[in-house]
Amino acid sequence: MSAQIISGKEVSAQVRARLKKQVEQMKTKDPNFKPGLVVLQVGDREDSNLYISMKLKAAAEIGINANHVRLPKTATEDEVLHSITGVNENSSIHGLIVQLPLDSIHPIDTERVTNAVAPEKDVDGLTSINAGKLSRGDLGDCFIPCTPNGCMELIKQTGVSVAGKKAVVIGRSKIVGAPMHDLLLWSHATVTTCHSKTTDLQGEVGRADILVVGIGKAEMVKGEWIKKGAVVIDCGINHIADETKASGKRVVGDVHYASAKEQAGFITPVPGGVGPMTVAMLMGNTVQSAQRFLDSHQPGKWNISYTQLNLLKPVPSDIAISRSCVPKPISRLAWEVGLLCDEVELYGKAKAKVQLDTIKRLRAQPDGKYVVVTGITPTPLGEGKSTTTIGLVQALGAHMKLNVFACVRQPSQGPTFGIKGGAAGGGYSQVIPMEEFNLHLTGDIHAITAANNLVAAAIDARMFHEATQTDKALYNRLVPVSGGERKFSPIQINRLKRLGIEKTDPNALTEEEINRFARLDMDPATITWQRVLDTNDRFLRKITVGQAPTEKGHTREAQFDITVASEIMAVLALTSSLEDMRLRLAKMVVATNRSGVPVTTEDLGVSGALTVLMRDAIKPNLMQTLEGTPVFVHAGPFANIAHGNSSILADKIALKLVGPEGYVVTEAGFGADIGMEKFFNIKCRYSGLRPHVVVLVATVRALKMHGGGPTVTAGMPLPKEYIEENLELLEKGCSNMRKQVENAQAFGVPVVVAVNAFKTDTYKELELICSLAKAAGAFDAVSCSHWAEGGAGAVDLGRAVQRASEEPNHFRFLYDVELPIADKIRIIAQKIYGADDIELLPDAQHKVALYTKQGFGNLPICMAKTHLSLSHEADRKGVPTGFILPIRDIRASVGAGFLYPLVGTMPTIPGLPTRPCFYDIDLDPETEQVNGLF
């Protein structure tokens, strides 16, 4: 009786159908996901091309995104390795096949090349790591070479149990024989491997219940050698002469098929046996790799380790604490929170940038809970918003085991060397390393400085050239002849379209069109764009530019701002994508021309260059807290003339990473009347995000100052009112907290008051604040000791935030942007500050009319006023009443997307005090440690 034929075609079809269903199931979990495969070929061998086409066809049928990468025959070993590294680091590719042989004119070490493939992407199963795991029996943690794997699948189809059987493998190649031996062995067969030196090959074959042949010799194994009823798997592919075939040859295996099928119980034909299974199992390994990737990268499923704090009493300095804690490698933290290797750009060991493509990958993932930390009206005594933000995320993460991200602003270096010092939190609630946090970070602020000053240079240069050249000369230089032809650049084509000139040939413009195109005709008196520097320098508050003889007397008064006051910083904080940033940068208004038309950076031709300068700055920076929870540090706009919040992009990425049960805690600058109001009315309006909880930070000593406590002098001991119990003074000051609770409630979001406790606070004082906060409508009020105890000291706050986040949310904006400019200002002044009304001074009245006419009247409002009082007078503490809010002027940040009314005067670049912080800052040349930061 002839053997049953094991059809590789039929079995492989079943395997491919099963794999197709698996891929479809993956897409139900993540519609954007698709298994990825790369076939890397060197040269152009016909047989390789045939095999590759079969693989690509099978991949397409199953739903695998397969790409064929062909390197030329001139490719060197280094070039091949470089290509492999690129695929290894591409998270969208789950399988990599190096097509052998490598057909190069240069010598290439095949073993080195195959072992360069990442083991988790080695779907051929050829790396030493996968081979080693297979030989050890770790079958669930490796990829099995495709031909042996296909052979095992065919044996399964016979219904013959492998366990306890005598198996013989002829051949010991790394691709077939050796792994086949291991597979049969770990399936509990008794295995013998035969090869060219085996003395009694026929006798060994005759004892085999299962025979697998892969020796590469045509029809070597004869039928009479085979045990009756054996399972015969023929892996050979050989060509022998056959005059009956058009090609003059035919394909045969290593087994003499005609005689063997009369002895065997089951046998594979050649062709049509093992061959189709090899491709099917290759696809199976690719799908398995993709499934492993999905399982190990489930959004919101973190495998994070936390850092144990060694709390000391008394609490050491911030820098001493920061240095006592060794941060995790930032690459490890990125992996722990679900970021892929190609989504992370390392900047040393402790910081990294995160690619914006992360949002695209996670777009189907639900957002986590969104918490904003704000405070009472600030005082010189400090409230500790940053410290509370970090303490809260350490509590939620390290102690409550919830996924949590902090999103904070990058500090300016001006205050770091001036009077304020660092801004990384404090005590045992810090972002680390604090030196890296406070100094340079990844260069974002420097990029903004360069971009901002490029605009400033372009403004003055353009006015100079327009003032010293005729229309024709100006036009010829703006659109020069190059290579015998004159062409408009794309940004110049855009300007022509805005002017209504539908022409692309520079020689076709009329004299009138040339004049309109070439002359921006900026009115120097209307220039609002200033140069910036990230240093406190009072002597740059008013300067004269153009005094060199080469500028031919074209001088004008100007000024410097600190870099974080630049509109480009606000654009960075409010942008939602690289494309959106390009549009916002193009819309920035720098001046008005003499006809009253706004002049933009796009008109100057500089907006594309700005985008190039900002292309890395747009990526959020990843750092960590003392207890190992993740932090995004990104953007740092001023909280008075800008909106004072970290970036939308950082918040959006973090909300996706934490998952629906996680938390993102961000901080708004200054008090709730400024930073929080702008967070809601500006940031949330542009982001589309809706916060779940407001955390309002207060301290006993700051509330006492609002209650009428004495003035505090820097460097002098605190008056006794602030270090001794004084409930009467404290209760009076709680009026400010009550007003800020009301301000938060105006947006329909639950409020939790966090009382940042100091060692001089008494139990009665802390209890008084908590009871008054609850009476004012706060969801809860909690005393915290995170400065001294880290996250453990903010666990009660974390629990309160968790409960509050489950409350019904009735978030609403304070005003409709379509209201007239004056009405929007009035609503903020009356509802948030408690003013009786507003007064628009002449300059402000003019700007209201101008911006309305120019089409900017529907932008949200970003009030620029003192942060030290609810009113416009910094020395009025508590809750001032009975005042009219004077609006001195109004300016437009059109690219960022808001108008900012100026209430009173304020410097936009700080000055240095008599004794700046830099007196204490130095570098130890032996350890290279920074000393003196605090």
Please provide residue 485's backbone torsions phi and psi, each rounded to the nearest 5 degrees.
Answer: -140, 155
Task: Tell me if residue 29 is catalytic.
Answer: no
Pairing of strands 560-562, 556-558: unpaired
**Sign of the CA dihedral 841, 681, 672, 570?**
negative
The full DSSP string for 368-380 is: -EEEEEEESS--T
Given 27, 29, 34, 55, the catalytic residue? 55
Q: How many C-beta atoms lie closer than 10 Å to residue 401's C-beta?
A: 11
Buried b (16+ CB within 10 A) or exposed e, 728-751: ebbbbbbbbbbbbbbbbbbbebbb
Closest Cα to residue 917, out of 412, 416, 539? Answer: 416
Beta-sheet strand order (sheet of 231-234): 4-5, 266-267, 231-234, 210-213, 166-170, 190-194
The one-letter amino acid at 871? S
Distance (Å, rounded) from C-alpha 198 to C-alpha 171?
A: 10
Contact 783, 748 (CB under 8 A): no
Query: What does the DSSP 8-state code read for residue 717?
Result: P
Chain mean position to CA 137? 39
Chain mean position to CA 161? 51
Q: How many C-beta atoms lie closer than 10 Å to residue 661's C-beta?
A: 11
Place of tokens 């590469």: 216
Distance (Å, rounded) from C-alpha 232 to C-alpha 170?
A: 11
What stretch of H or E contains 556? Answer: strand 556-558
**Sign of the CA dihedral 916, 920, 924, 930?**
negative
| Per-residue tokens: 112 | 């080195």
Geometric angle at alpha carbon 415, from 542 and 907, rounded to 5°: 30
DSSP SS3 for 660: coil
- The full length of the chain comes to 934
| Per-residue tokens: 94 | 């789950």
Buried b (16+ CB within 10 A) or exposed e, 754-778: bbbbbeebeeebbebbbebbeebeb
Distance (Å, rounded) from C-alpha 276 to C-alpha 391?
A: 60
Q: Which residues, including other chains, have CB under 8 Å from residue 760's CB and lie 6 or more apart?
A: 700, 701, 722, 723, 724
Active site residues: 55
